[in-house]
Structure 1
Amino acid sequence: MSKTILIDTSRCTACRGCQIACKEWHELPANKTYQVGWGSHQNPQDLNPNNYKLVRFSEHLDNGVVRWNFFPDQCRHCDIAPCKETGDMYIEEAIVQDEQTGAIVYTANTKGFTKEQFEEIRESCPYNIPRRHEETGIMAKCTMCNDRIHSGMPPVCVKSCPTGAMQFGDREEMLKLAESRLATLKKEWPDAMLADPDSVNVIYLLIDTAENYHKYAVAQAEMTPMSKQQFLATLARPFKAMKG
């Protein structure tokens, strides 16, 4: 049974403990960040090869009241990952999916993708997650702390969250918890929803409309018609399974 992270945004205070813990565990170097001219407490401005997790700040008016929505952005670890399906057409198994956890992991072999191939892989992701290190060419993103999971530990972002906004466990257990929590929140927040719970292993519970968090909060926000290569990649999956 695959593993799932449930992120309850109603409990997120944007402390960024998860963001910092992720950098520390993966020993990622610091980025030069900016406040002047950017106009947001969000730092850095976007995901990058040195930030697998980023707490996004979204400020908007709601009936004359300023509201801040916080969104700890990361890879969703899709059940059927478009990035892997597309990448396998060029270098098979450069992007792998752990059968036990469901985690999608980018290996060092991703440096073999050309810039054009990387862009195609990135465009195939409905959440705009893949990033590429300009110097090494290696693709980078959240690994779901796959190494920690296999050692009996939860992902470090879950471990570091002080408010219980992040929960981790077997998929069925997390789906039940998500539905229960959603029912509770809907009493006060009628727009509350689960973001793509049937297709991803990182499920977000939102209490506001998705567009008030992040343009890629749900897959439908940026879905585009499949390219011919992406379509062929999805067809290739069942044939590969039959061969196996």
Structure 2
Amino acid sequence: MAEHEIKQIISQLEKPHNLHQAPKLLSKAKLGLLHLHALVPSANTSPQHILLATTVLEHGALLSIRLKDTEAFTRYYQQLQPFYSLPHERWHRAGKPRNQSKVTGLYLLLLLSVGDYAGFHTVLEGLEMSSGKEHIEKDELIQYPVRLEQALMEGSYDKVWGETKGERVPSEEFAVFSEVLIKTIRSEIASCSERAYPSLQISNAKNLLFLDSEGAVIQFAQARGWVAKDGRIYFPQQEAEMLAAGKDVMSSSNTVIENTLGYARKLETIV
């Protein structure tokens, strides 16, 4: 496959209606890069072919996110690393990769969504070493996951929620992982609630769990085996344990819940 044919495939990949045809198109493009000996950069790979390969792989990474295929995205991210780590002079006049910050920021957000904080900091430290801390601090696509990670470490779930809403999300691809991250946080808060209290008012649970309606709270409660009645959510296991012990159960979870509930009540003034 000639270089111009790969460029034609790239043009097709950039059309929104070709989303579900993308995997086949990407396979053809990567086969073409293989024939050009450009799928993995070497000392003999021309700057033009380096840029061509990077463009194809970046399209693959971003399209994988839109298709919600995180495994494919991770593979594309890994394939891009040898290109991203090339010295600046190797790119020469061919131009720079257009989506390096976006792909990297998305990978950082993926690491957050699965709770891999060690991996998150390893990637971030590598970026600071290769590009400079000052440059990274000005890159909004990198700073978005950085802000989320800082808020998570502080336990400021309201800030996380606010960052994942509307115009604060850098692009539609980031919204996919942001949604996953909120679901993870919601599950963690639910687990803390079960340990901290025998019951909660449904109105409080709605704010606490960042759900849109009391009906959504009831659905969430049923999925976790909670009981909703008389305007409250009851945690059967915790209630049974407290009755058996004959005393209130106090734990560090109380502090987390109280803080989060307080943040949630202020949500409308933040978002």
TM-score class, shorter-chain normalisation, is: under 0.3
Which structure has more relative contact order (CA 8 Å, sep 6+)? It is 1
Greater share of residues in strand: 1
Q: Which has the higher helix share?
A: 2
